[in-house]
């Protein structure tokens, strides 16, 4: 199978970025989901959990670079 994606640059730069880095974005999102799920298994104050979600998201996104 062969697939060809065509973009008009620079108008479609964001779409191009998603196509090129989609796998990394998916892995990052899966990691964020797993970590939040692990943390939410314990009874936690919602405000504390929200702060942890923020921290986890920042940490994971830093590992994949500028998305």
Residue-by-residue DSSP string for 6-31: ---TTTTHHHHHHHHHHHHHHHHHHH
Q: Per the domain annotation, does 37 fall within a domain?
A: yes
pLDDT > 60? residue 6:
yes
Total domains in the fold of the chain: 1
pTM for the full predicted model: 0.65
What integer pLDDT is reported at residue 50 of this predicted model?
Answer: 85
Q: In this structure, is residue 33 part of a structural domain?
A: yes
Query: Which residue range forms the structural domain that includes residue 55?
Result: 21-64
Specify whether the CB–CB gap between 32 and 24 falls below 8 A: no
Using a 10 angstrom Cβ sphere, with 0-12 exposed, 13-18 middle and 19 or more buried, the burial of residue 62 is: exposed
Is the pLDDT higher at 17 or at 43? 17
* Domain annotation covers residue 6: no
Confidence band for 1, pLDDT divided at 50, 70 and 90: very high
What is the distance between the alpha carbons of residues 55 and 64, in angstroms, rounded to a whole number?
15
Is 11 a member of any domain?
no
Residue 3 has pLDDT above 70, yes or no: yes
Half-sphere CA count of 54, side-chain side, radius 13 A = 6
Give the tens place of pLDDT for each residue, 24-41: 889 988 988 898 888 778
């Amino acid at each position: 199978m062969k697939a060809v994606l065509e973009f008009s640059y620079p108008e479609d730069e964001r779409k191009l970025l998603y196509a090129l880095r989609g796998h990394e974005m998916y892995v990052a999102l899966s990691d964020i989901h797993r970590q939040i799920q692990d943390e939410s298994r314990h009874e936690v104050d919602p405000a504390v959990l929200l702060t942890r979600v923020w921290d986890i998201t920042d940490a994971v996104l830093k590992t994949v670079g500028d998305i």
